[in-house]
Amino acid sequence: MKETIEKILAELNELKCSTQKEVEEARVRFLGKKGEITALFEEFRTVPSEMKREFGKTLNELKKQATSKIEELKSTITDKETASAPKQDLSMPGDPIALGSRHPVSIVRQEIVDIFRKFGYDVAEGPEIEDDWHVFEALNFPPNHPAREMQDTFFVSNGHLNPLLLRTHTSSVQVRTMETQPLPIRVICPGRVFRNEAISARAHCIFHQVEGLYIDKNVSFADLKQAILLFAREMFGADTEIRMRPSYFPFTEPSAEVDVSCNICKGKGCNICKGTGWLEIMGCGMVDPNVLEASGIDSKQYSGFAFGMGVERIAMLKWQVNDLRHYFENDLRFLSEFSTATEV
Ligand code: DAH
């Protein structure tokens, strides 16, 4: 064993390498798992105990020397390949980082929120999983009333006395606000809604709405009309006109559907407005007294208006997108079209 140690020591002293590859080979030869020095450590186990002390010291010394020799060679050798490798040009511009952009639905939702914030509306949010009371009952949809069929509902738990469901409209947040906030109330409620509908160019089972609610003393239909006219002009341009058509919603009386003048053909008639010169943007009306009373508001003292619009619908009109599905498929070719529409 002593001789082997001396032989290795001599070899280490003589050791010369000219490439990093050779250094690595030497490391493996002496210190690798099956290396010569490693083998000596194995052999050390068989050394009689009275000699262990001396051999142990020598062996450790040998390992130390071998390690430092290899380290020394490693740090002094510059391979030809390494030396001739092209130096990095640190003055080169870096690789651009691809920045994401906001989703078109988020952009429009924010735009709607910003417009109403300017008019003094607060923003309210509510849960997406709701109960029957907030989505239907408190909004004047009596049980088994055919109006419930207007919105095909996804039930989370059915057959219970109080089933949970995915909200079919953000009007549920109206109810939550009326139940908890002091009067007067002026809020908008943006959020995601769910309907059990077949997916097509014009319908999806998930989409976004913004609900609006204003309750105070002496709120009239004229106030509603003015608020919507101002919104439409901010959203679609200063020369936009609106018209209201009578409609029906259980929670408003009277109810109306709102159209804006087509900003593409300026009312002359085109294929976006289907030749009518008008585009439908929302439903609205005066909050039904039953709805106020269901949330504990005295309908003799207070009145209010409400409206609800689909964010995707507004986005489709704004950018003349003719298929709703584009907003849900996350195709980067479509989404990147809107990167410049994002305000920072
Ligand atoms: N909740 C209605 C829907 O989902 C939209 C709506 C219409 C909301 C009229 C309102 C309203 O607040 O007054 O179709």
Domain ranges of the chain: 2-83, 104-338
Residue located via tokens 């769910």: 194
Task: Report how far residue 79's alpha carbon sits from residue 288's, in angstroms, rounded to the nearest whole number.
Answer: 85
Checking if the pLDDT of 341 tops 60, the result is no
Q: What string of DSSP letters covers 48-85?
A: -HHHHHHHHHHHHHHHHHHHHHHHHHHHH---HHHHHS
Window from 22-31, 145-154, 285-294, 328-337 with minimum mean pLDDT: 145-154
- The whole-number pLDDT of residue 144 equals 80
Ligand 1, atom 4, residue with closest C-alpha: 169
As assigned by CATH, the class of the 104-338 domain is alpha beta
- The whole-number pLDDT of residue 296 equals 95
Task: Report how far residue 176's alpha carbon sits from residue 138's, in angstroms, rounded to the nearest whole number.
Answer: 10
User: Could you give the C-alpha distances from 222 to 118, 154, 215, in angstroms and in order?
Assistant: 19, 36, 14
Ligand 1, atom 12, residue with closest C-alpha: 307
Pocket lining: 169 vs ligand 1, CB cutoff 6 Å: yes
pLDDT one-digit tens code per residue, 123-175: 999 999 999 999 999 999 988 877 676 668 888 876 667 788 999 999 999 99
Residue 29 contacts residue 36 (beta carbons within 8 Å): yes
Pocket lining: 140 vs ligand 1, CB cutoff 6 Å: no
Q: Which of 175, 193, 249, 259 has most ligand 1 atoms within 8 Å of its beta carbon, as the pocket-test mutant?
A: 249
Pocket lining: 310 vs ligand 1, CB cutoff 6 Å: no
Pocket lining: 171 vs ligand 1, CB cutoff 6 Å: yes
* Cis peptide preceding 184, ω within 30 of 0: yes
pLDDT one-digit tens code per residue, 35-90: 999 988 888 888 888 888 888 888 898 899 899 988 888 888 776 666 666 778 88
Q: What string of DSSP letters covers 251-295?
A: TEEEEEEEEEE-TTTTTS--TTTTTSSEEEEEEEEEEPHHHHHHT
Q: At what angle do helices 2-14 and 49-76 cross, to 10 degrees?
A: 10
- Closest CA relative to residue 160, chosen from 133, 142, 179, 196: 133
Task: Report how far residue 84's alpha carbon sits from residue 79's, in angstroms, rounded to the nearest whole number.
Answer: 8
CA angle 165–168–174, rounded 5-degree value: 100
Residue 131 contacts residue 175 (beta carbons within 8 Å): no
Q: Which residues, listed in sequence order, are joined to residue 307 by a DSSP beta bridge?
A: 212, 284
Q: What is the mean pLDDT of residues 10-25?
A: 87
Atom of ligand 1 nearest to the CA of 213: 12
- The whole-number pLDDT of residue 340 equals 67
Distance (Å) from CA 69 to ligand 1 centroid: 82
Higher pLDDT, 82 or 119: 119
- The whole-number pLDDT of residue 59 equals 87
Distance (Å) from CA 206 to ligand 1 centroid: 16
Checking if the pLDDT of 339 tops 80, the result is no
- The whole-number pLDDT of residue 82 equals 61
- The whole-number pLDDT of residue 88 equals 81
Checking if the pLDDT of 344 tops 60, the result is no
Q: Which residues, listed in sequence order, are joined to residue 187 by a DSSP beta bridge?
A: 122, 213
Residue 342: pLDDT band by 50, 70, 90 thresholds?
very low
- Closest CA relative to residue 188, chosen from 150, 222, 231, 220: 231
- The whole-number pLDDT of residue 160 equals 67
Tokens in use for 77?
């050798």
Higher pLDDT, 334 or 342: 334
Pocket lining: 141 vs ligand 1, CB cutoff 6 Å: no
For the chain, give the mean pLDDT. 90
pLDDT one-digit tens code per residue, 189-235: 999 999 998 998 888 999 999 999 999 999 999 999 999 999 999 99
Q: Which residues, listed in sequence order, are joined to residue 192 by a DSSP beta bridge?
A: 208
Pocket lining: 170 vs ligand 1, CB cutoff 6 Å: no
Atom of ligand 1 nearest to the CA of 251: 13
Pocket lining: 207 vs ligand 1, CB cutoff 6 Å: no
- The whole-number pLDDT of residue 184 equals 97
Distance (Å) from CA 305 to ligand 1 centroid: 11
Spatial strand order of the sheet with 278-287 comes to 122-123, 185-194, 206-216, 303-310, 278-287, 252-261, 242-249
Checking if the pLDDT of 310 tops 90, the result is yes
